[in-house]
Amino acid sequence: MKKYFNKVLIANRGEIAVRIQRACKELGIQTVAVHSTADSDAMHVKLADESVCVGPPQAVNSYLNIPAIISACEITGAEAVHPGYGFLSENAHFAEILEAHNITFIGPTSEHINIMGDKITAKETVSNLGIPVVPGSNGKIEDLNHAKKIAKDIGFPVLIKASSGGGGKGMKIAKSQNELEEAFNMAKIEAKASFGDDTVYIEKYLETPRHIEIQILGDKNGNAIHLGERDCSLQRRNQKVLEEATSPVIDALKREEIGEIASSAISKLGYHGAGTIEFLYEDNKFYFIEMNTRLQVEHPITEIITDCDLVKEQISIAAGYNLSKKQADVVIKGHAIECRINAENPKTFIPSPGKITAYHPAGGPGVRVDSGAYSGYTIPPYYDSMIGKLIVFGNNRRDCIDKLNRTLDEFVIEGVETTLPLFKDLLKNEDIISGNYNIHWLENYLENHP
Ligand code: ADP
């Protein structure tokens, strides 16, 4: 077995911290968990070889507390840090500080995080590398007159977006010239309040696209590959709810075409690590919206259909090895669907933290559950409400849906409310069964099924 690192610190919590520990253990790497005082009993702490408390419950004082996390590395002698997703995973400053301490950041360089973290720079960069982007302003919008000119050129409806945006914040639609001034001002105010930066740009608002993203991997030796697409069009408030791979609307030829564009751009950029290039897809065309320079929540569906462990790849890339696969070795097989299980009311989506009194995950062939939940675990109210992911593999889409139906019936979580019933309802719907949906479908469905 290759010795990538002796000890890795995982700067995260919940299901993703457990997921990363599993990869480390299989690679013979010692694991260090960090946790807040609210997470002392969490699964990721129980499973780690060592753990360090890095602060009080609020994430800003614990999981985002860079000095405390660096101290935890120094105390435990961790040689590398895996940031998971969220928290510090796309924080270029954190990556730089680790570099300065001679600790390896399991992810791309701080320079690449910075480029992709600013949406205007990201769009410009990828466009120069041959990736198709949504028509719009090539750069920042200076003032209302500038906005009017661009909107006139591309045609309404338009979307005003925050350059530092994330989580769907700082985005406003203007359907006509009358709505432009208000949308422009509101987007700027929201961007300033959420990100401390009111830089905005304009894009053509696509009315019925799907959200399709390409998984890429690059190593430090200039190799880059893609692992096909994930369809994440089922969203509520711009948050993904259910994801599937492959997409019901992408055939092998289209996959190869966009995948080749994505991996060659990554290779030209000299990007290393895992990454996701997100596109909107409408009328058989792809339009780049952003690149995430980290592991995604929905990475398991790609792992299953490509037989590739993305976390192990990230670790091996960080240690300087070549990718384990060449493009020709990537074979896509079958179909996978992931359901995000949130501790929330399935109708109102109001979080439901508290004690899980009974927990029996589903099982059987082709079923994977990534979770930090267990019977007797108390879900703290301080973090996001996702408590696990149910991931199902089938030989084809129909087989996968049948298996998911069976699995949802088996899964038991008591004591808190969860979104499991929502998935049972969705799987009865003809549009879902036939794969006929776009990014607005779920919001419309929820409005009609209160
Ligand atoms: P964030 O980083 O805030 O999540 P994204 O640029 O990734 O922002 O967009 C999030 C979601 O917003 C997309 O998945 C899509 O649903 C919608 N969206 C973004 N840009 C457009 C656009 N030009 N037209 C239509 N919808 C868009």
Task: Give pLDDT tens digits for 135-163.
Answer: 999 899 999 999 999 999 999 999 999 99
Read off the pLDDT of each residue in 319-339 and give the average, rounded to a whole number: 98
Read off the pLDDT of each residue in 186-206 and give the average, rounded to a whole number: 95
Residue 174 has pLDDT above 80, yes or no: yes
Q: Determine whether the shortest distance from the Cβ of 167 to ligand 1 is under 6 A.
A: yes
CATH code for position 18: 3.40.50.20
CATH code for position 295: 3.30.470.20
Q: Determine whether the shortest distance from the Cβ of 205 to ligand 1 is under 6 A.
A: yes
Q: Determine whether the shortest distance from the Cβ of 211 to ligand 1 is under 6 A.
A: yes
Q: Determine whether the shortest distance from the Cβ of 439 to ligand 1 is under 6 A.
A: yes
Q: Which of 208, 280, 293, 440 to mutate to test the pocket of ligand 1 (most atoms within 8 A of CB)?
A: 280
* Same domain, yes or no: 214 and 230: yes
Asked if residue 118 belongs to a domain, the reply is no
Phi, psi of 145, deg, nearest 5: -65, -40
* Same domain, yes or no: 294 and 153: no
Alpha carbon distance 370, 15 (integer Å): 6
pLDDT of residue 166: 82
- Which of 204, 230, 256 lies at the terminal end of a domain, its last residue? 204
Q: How many A from CA of 111 to the centre of ligand 1?
A: 24
pLDDT of residue 141: 95
Q: How many A from CA of 212 to the centre of ligand 1?
A: 11
Q: Is the peptide bond before 157 cis (omega within 30 degrees of 0)?
A: yes
Asked if residue 20 belongs to a domain, the reply is yes
Residue 1 has pLDDT above 70, yes or no: no
- Does the annotation count 294 as an active-site position? yes
Q: Determine whether the shortest distance from the Cβ of 134 to ligand 1 is under 6 A.
A: yes
* Same domain, yes or no: 235 and 347: yes
Radius of gyration of the chain (CA): 21
User: Which amino acid is present at 172?
Assistant: K
Looking at the structure of the chain, the number of domains it has is 3
* Same domain, yes or no: 86 and 40: yes
- For 142: left if phi > 0, alpha if psi spans -120 to 50, otherwise beta; the answer is alpha
* Same domain, yes or no: 159 and 238: no
Q: Determine whether the shortest distance from the Cβ of 208 to ligand 1 is under 6 A.
A: no
Asked if residue 117 belongs to a domain, the reply is no
* Same domain, yes or no: 353 and 255: yes
Place of tokens 């919590």: 13
- Range in 191-195, 328-332, 342-346, 352-356 the model is least confident about: 191-195
Asked if residue 115 belongs to a domain, the reply is no
- Which of 178, 204, 230 lies at the terminal end of a domain, its last residue? 204
- Which of 69, 85, 106 lies at the terminal end of a domain, its last residue? 106
Q: How many A from CA of 167 to the centre of ligand 1?
A: 9
Atom of ligand 1 nearest to the CA of 232: 14
User: 212: closest CA among 259, 253, 168?
Assistant: 259
Structural domain that includes position 194: 135-204
- Among 294, 340, 368, 397, the active-site one is 294
Closest-CA residue, ligand 1 atom 11, reads 238
* Same domain, yes or no: 77 and 190: no
Alpha carbon distance 99, 168 (integer Å): 31
* Same domain, yes or no: 198 and 231: no
pLDDT of residue 235: 97
Q: Is the peptide bond before 125 cis (omega within 30 degrees of 0)?
A: no
Share of the chain above pLDDT 90, in %: 97
CATH code for position 147: 3.30.1490.20
Asked if residue 357 belongs to a domain, the reply is yes
Asked if residue 34 belongs to a domain, the reply is yes
* Same domain, yes or no: 234 and 299: yes
Residue 2 has pLDDT above 80, yes or no: no
Alpha carbon distance 438, 235 (integer Å): 9
* Same domain, yes or no: 151 and 294: no
Q: Determine whether the shortest distance from the Cβ of 348 to ligand 1 is under 6 A.
A: no
Residue 107 has pLDDT above 90, yes or no: yes
Residue 338 has pLDDT above 90, yes or no: yes
Q: Determine whether the shortest distance from the Cβ of 290 to ligand 1 is under 6 A.
A: yes
Q: How many A from CA of 188 to the centre of ligand 1?
A: 16
* Same domain, yes or no: 160 and 34: no
* Same domain, yes or no: 196 and 215: no
H/E run at residue 10: strand 7-10
Q: Convert 349-396 into a string of H (helix), E (strand) and C (coil).
A: CCECCEECCEEECCCCCCEEEEECCCCCCEECCCCCCEEEEEEEEECC
Place of tokens 């590739």: 308
pLDDT, tens only, 217-246: 999 999 999 999 999 999 999 899 999 999
Average pLDDT, the chain: 97
Q: Which of 164, 205, 233, 238 to mutate to test the pocket of ligand 1 (most atoms within 8 A of CB)?
A: 238
Number of C-beta neighbours around residue 329 at 10 A: 12
* 293, 108 Cβ separation under 8 angstroms: yes
Q: How many A from CA of 385 to the centre of ligand 1?
A: 22
Q: How confident is the model at residue 170 (pLDDT cuts 50, 70, 90)?
A: confident
pLDDT, tens only, 254-299: 999 999 999 999 999 999 999 999 999 999 999 999 999 999 999 9
Asked if residue 130 belongs to a domain, the reply is no
* 228, 254 Cβ separation under 8 angstroms: no
Asked if residue 440 belongs to a domain, the reply is yes
Read off the pLDDT of each residue in 327-347 and give the average, rounded to a whole number: 98
Q: How many A from CA of 83 to the centre of ligand 1?
A: 24
